[in-house]
A and B are shown apart, each in its own frame.
Chain A
Amino acid sequence: MPTILVVEDSPTMRQLISFAMRRIPGSRVIEATDGVDALKKLSSEKIDIILADINMPVMDGLKLVSLVRGNSAFKDIPIIIITTEGAEEDRKKAMSMGADAYLPKPIQTQELIRLVTEQLGKR
């Protein structure tokens, strides 16, 4: 049963992504509103995959990626970045920091489900 952490400050996007993730059989979705909130959830829950926005208050998605990759307990958790930043350099930057996949908004939920399933399958 995969536990998916959705890190997104926009309630609309958070609900939309969570809604899509609940369609993955047996999945459990946990929501966080920013990077700091996500780190708290990572400490208290066993997370299988992280879906994070980049532009968030308090702590952005890229900082969250670097902190997760730098932590031996969480470093192997796949991270998918979902963001409005669609430029190639933004994608390269996120991937070089340790993101496993990069999905620009507006998202196609089928594509997101496919990416998450693919990343979970690699584990």
Chain B
Amino acid sequence: MDRKDGILRKADEFLRIFRQGEEFTRNLLSENERLRFRIAELEESRLQDLNESKIRHYEEHVRMLEDELKRLRERLSLLEAENKDLAKRFALAAVENNNLANLYVASYQLHSTLDYDEVVKIVVEIIINLIGADRFAVMLLDEKLEELVPIATEGSGTGARREDGIIAAVIREGESYFSDVPLRKASDDPESPLVCIPLKIKGHVIGVIAIYSFLAQKSRFSDIDYELFNLLAGHAATAVLSSKLYSRSENDYGTLRNFLELLKEKTR
């Protein structure tokens, strides 16, 4: 009986210990579960913090990039404006360059010879090819006769009198005349050219270029036309007069030389 009681006590003791053990194990498992959950929570929180930090970093970076983009766009639009301005300036420089080339060639040709006929031919070439005149006359003033003597004509339109009309005014005032009439219209009146340019040397008018009609394709004057008119007014006058004087001096020199030869022969 005692033995049985002892066994039962031990069994109860064992059961009690076992239940305590079970309770302890359950508590351990529960604590373990709680800790794992806490770890997961902490991990998640850490990741979240990390993500938020990254997001903040990326947002900052995006802002920086957006600012940079804005700056670049502004710079680009500035450069585009600058580029447009440069292109415009380049085009203007090209036009200016071409105009200067025209003036250089015209001036070079005018002073390339002292042969009077050649000079007159060059003046005519410039008026036709560079200005685009169709009918015109180049006239020199004969001081003794007080009239204009044509030295080159293309088409009709010469014989203007010095005393009256547009040509007379151009000679008197030494200023170029440009008619308001559209260039496509021609003038048949010798006294009323569309354009009249005085040929001047140091302000002294020695003749005129009178243009009565232009080539069909010439609809308006460009800047270079006015420059060419100015060039003709001065350079053509100098070239024509100097070649004329040179031809005359050549003739005089020839006559004088012949005369001296004759004198030499007579004195022998």
Contacts and interface: CB of A to CB of B under 8 A. Distances in A.
A11 B94 CA distance: 23
Contact of B129 (A19, A84, A108): A84
Contacts of B102: 16, 109
B131 interface: yes
Contacts of A11: 109, 112, 122, 125
B132 interface: yes
Given A16-B102, A16-B105, A10 B215 contact: no
Which residue among B98, B109, B125, B131 has the maximum number of chain A CB atoms within 10 Å of its CB?
Answer: B98
A105 interface: yes
Interface in A11-61: 11-13, 15-16, 19-20
In this complex, the interface size class of chain B, counting residues with CB under 8 Å from chain A, is 20 to 34
A110 B104 CA distance: 16
B11 interface: no
A16 B106 CA distance: 8
Given A20-B101, A84-B128, 8 more contacts: A15-B105, A16-B101, A16-B130, A19-B105, A87-B216, A105-B132, A105-B215, A106-B215
Interface of A: 10-13, 15-16, 19-20, 84, 86-87, 104-106, 108-110
23 contacts: A10-B125, A11-B122, A12-B105, A12-B109, A12-B125, A12-B126, A12-B129, A15-B105, A15-B109, A16-B101, A16-B105, A16-B129, A19-B105, A20-B98, A84-B128, A84-B129, A86-B215, A106-B130, A106-B218, A108-B98, A109-B102, A110-B94, A110-B95
